[in-house]
Chain A
Amino acid sequence: MTVILDKCFGGKQGAVNLAILAILLLVIFPLWLDLFRLGLIGKYVTYAFVAVSLVLLWGNGGILSLGQGMFFGLGGYCMAMFLKLEASDPISTKIQTTPGIPDFMDWNQITEIPWFWQPFKSFPLTVFFVLAVPTFLAFIIGYAMFKRRVGGVYFAIITQAIALILSILIVGQQGYTGGVNGITDLKTLLGWDIRTDSAKYVLYFINASLLIGVIILSNYVLSSKFGMLLLAMRDKEERVRFSGYDVSSFKIFIFCYAAMISAIGGAMFTLQIGFMSPSFVGIVPSIEMVIFAAVGGRMSLIGAVYGALLVNFGKTMFSENFPELWLFLMGGLFIAVVMFFPDGLAGVYRDHAKNFNLADWLIASYTKWFKKDANMLGDKV
């Protein structure tokens, strides 16, 4: 019990923090918010996947990727391609020149579904590609960069450049990708209408549960020797290398893992919002995601989720009223966090909640009210 608690939840305090997050996402938000606002939270939660990936990659591994948006986008595009093919059946597209193909292909004088769209007719293959395509791209980039010992600022710039290239490629290949509009008008998933209210609730819960699952898995990664090596590499890469570790393979792995969880967020975005476009692939979204992680706390998996929720909530509130000021505010927020709260919200919580240990308080109240054995949460954590 204690071992599982330590390995998957980050100890007693970590388990309580995760439980609070789970209750907030799975109980409080759905009961409290209307479907429109809940849909917004669902969208922010998909960004939280990327923020969590950056905690692993940047906070723990010291590898700053300014191109996580491309993995988010690729995961989203893979899912969108499947949904688009399903939405483009010959009956609903009978007014097109070539019925049975996606509308934007028809507008671009393409008469048959291109070869790389073919696998997306199958849902199992689509799920596989959602995870595999971004991971494979991350592997190629990681292999090329880390084997040559490219790191730090150079790596950040290169990832940013690749994200830009990818977004330009998607915009340019309008007939194959839907261009700047992206892939829109998605309707059903295996015959199940994803636009109904009930579907929105179901997808929201799947999304939030997946995020909790990803956090638990990531806690396991960080609590293993691998996690300790990540910190060690961030601190003294040469020392790790001269302790007999192949540093590049560790970096490639964590970069691929981060890409994969970003892609899950992207796929869930497509399902919930009903479209995917290049505006989630390029430089700006990638940098925004770094800001979410920084605001939440780049060392804290759970902090990153709150960072994504809060910054996006602020963005929505602000951009509803002062759309032109938002970007300046966000830039200012980023500078302020880096200067005054380098560990983000999680750091503020840690420093100011020191005297008030929530885990102990909850266990104490639990014992008091239910007279149960408080040790069931593990006494040696």
Chain B
Amino acid sequence: MSNTDFILAIEDLTVSFDGFKAVDSLSMYIDKNELRVVIGPNGAGKTTVLYLICGKTKSTEGSIKFKNIEMTTLSEHEIVRAGVGRKFQTPSIYENLTVYQNLEVSYPVGRSVWGSLTFKRTPELSEQVRKIAAEVLLTEHLDLEAALLSHGQKQWLEIGMLLMQDPELLMLDEPVAGMSAKERDQTAELLNQICQNRSVLVIEHDMEFVKKIAHKVTVLHQGKILAEGSMEKVQANEKVIEVYLGH
């Protein structure tokens, strides 16, 4: 496969679980600084695509190239180190640590055993933690144990932890599930802000939210792409209305 200008190029990607093809020769390209939303009915293979990109699931066939580097043969932590950050569906934070420590642990320095033993807390680290905390609206809670945050704040904290790593591609799996209307608006604002200098891939069900953030939407159905394009174009697509959006 030839090299491209895309930050992420997925080509002919297939994964089969005992003969069932959860993702079936999928091809998808994401531009630099693009915010892409993947939607689709349950079981369409959205989360599987995300798992394939971040290395949790190994593909059966096809290729995933991030900045023209083949990802399918790398292990999870190598993919992260290459610049792909991934948020889990349910907030996945370290409940026993403070908000500050949660962000500090995610700082991409001292990632080896020896490096972590000799790691020194620098002023840059503290500055970076405060900057990110301000972005995800958690400045006031830096010393709070993370378990005590609200659900929405936990989601933001996890996004903050990803921002600490400064990834070039950020993947979010249903970031606004369980959030209040106000929190959804704030999250939309946050996502629009963070895709200024990185690409973002979001899986989402909430159509109102998708409209607020998406540059481009990909609709998945039975492991294949059903439609792709702007939100208006996709919403007008008859096939999409039939299988997913309803009447």
A residues contacting B by CB (< 8 A) are: 221, 224-226, 228-229, 231-232, 234-236, 238-247, 249-250, 253
Contact = CB atoms under 8 A, between A and B. Distances in A.
Interface residues of B, number: 31
Interface string B95-137: 1110001001110101111001111000000000000000000
B111 A232 contact: no
Contact of A232 (B85, B88, B105): B105
A235 B94 CA distance: 6
A216 to B, nearest CB: 15
A157 B105 CA distance: 31
Contact of A226 (B76, B93, B116): B116
A51 B243 CA distance: 60
Interface string B154-165: 000010010001
A224 B118 contact: yes
B94 A236 contact: yes
A6 B185 CA distance: 42
B116 to A, nearest CB: 4
Nearest to B85: A242
A226 B77 contact: no
A244 B108 contact: yes
Given A228-B105, A243-B161, A253 B94 contact: no
Given A243-B161, A244-B108, A231 B77 contact: no
B86 interface: yes
Contacts, number: 77
Given A241-B77, A244-B81, A228 B86 contact: no
A377 B94 CA distance: 32
A377 B29 CA distance: 59
A231 B96 contact: yes
B169 to A, nearest CB: 13
Contacts of A234: 96
Given A225-B110, A234-B96, A242-B76, 11 more contacts: A224-B116, A236-B92, A236-B93, A242-B54, A243-B80, A243-B161, A244-B80, A244-B81, A244-B111, A246-B75, A246-B111
A241 B76 contact: yes
A232 B113 contact: no
Interface in B59-73: none
Nearest to B83: A244
Contacts of A241: 76-77, 80
Contact of A249 (B96, B112, B119): B112
A225 B105 contact: yes
A55 B94 CA distance: 19
A229 B92 contact: no
A110 to B, nearest CB: 42
Interface string B193-228: 000000000000000000000000000000000000
A225 B92 CA distance: 19
A65 B96 CA distance: 22
Contacts of B81: 244
A145 B213 CA distance: 43
